[in-house]
Amino acid sequence: MSARTAIMTAAIWLLLAAAVEQGAVSQEEQRKIEGLIRYVEGMTDAQFVRNGRAYSSKAAARFLKKKWEANRDKVETSKDFVARIATRSSTTGIIYTIRFKDGTTVACGNYLNGLLEKGVIGTN
């Protein structure tokens, strides 16, 4: 292999590594995303409404995790996760909501962003 070919090959590898790194979620952000999913799973007194149908907290957490796994390339931060995964249906565009035991309903994205802003979902 010539020196020029070696340099070109190394440059290509560096560019590929940089491209992969850009789409990567930091460990801190991954912990926050996983924390949001665990928090949803633990909300046993709430129903999660997606496309007009109510789901349990465990079903909602499984759904969010699968949707995140299928769209990891679109998520770099916990706020990206909320905006791109946990806010609305990518199929219908309908906003996901959370219905609490007392009948109060809130937009899922707003609720999860509030948890992040209040520091309820930390890095531990």
Percent of the chain with pLDDT over 90: 76
Q: What would you measure as the largest C-alpha separation in the chain, in angstroms?
A: 72
What pLDDT is stored for residue 80 in this prediction? 96
Please give the pLDDT value at position 40. Answer: 98
Cβ within 8 Å of residue 43, ≥6 positions away: 57, 98
The residues, any chain, with a CB within 8 Å of residue 81's CB and separated by 6 or more, are: 32, 33, 36, 68, 75
- What are the domain boundaries of the chain? 25-118
Poorest-pLDDT segment among 61-65, 107-111, 120-124: 120-124
Query: How far, in Å, CA of 38 to CA of 57, rounded?
Result: 9
Q: Given pLDDT bands bounded at 50, 70 and 90, which one contains residue 19?
A: very low
Q: Note the pTM of the prediction, 2 decimals.
A: 0.79
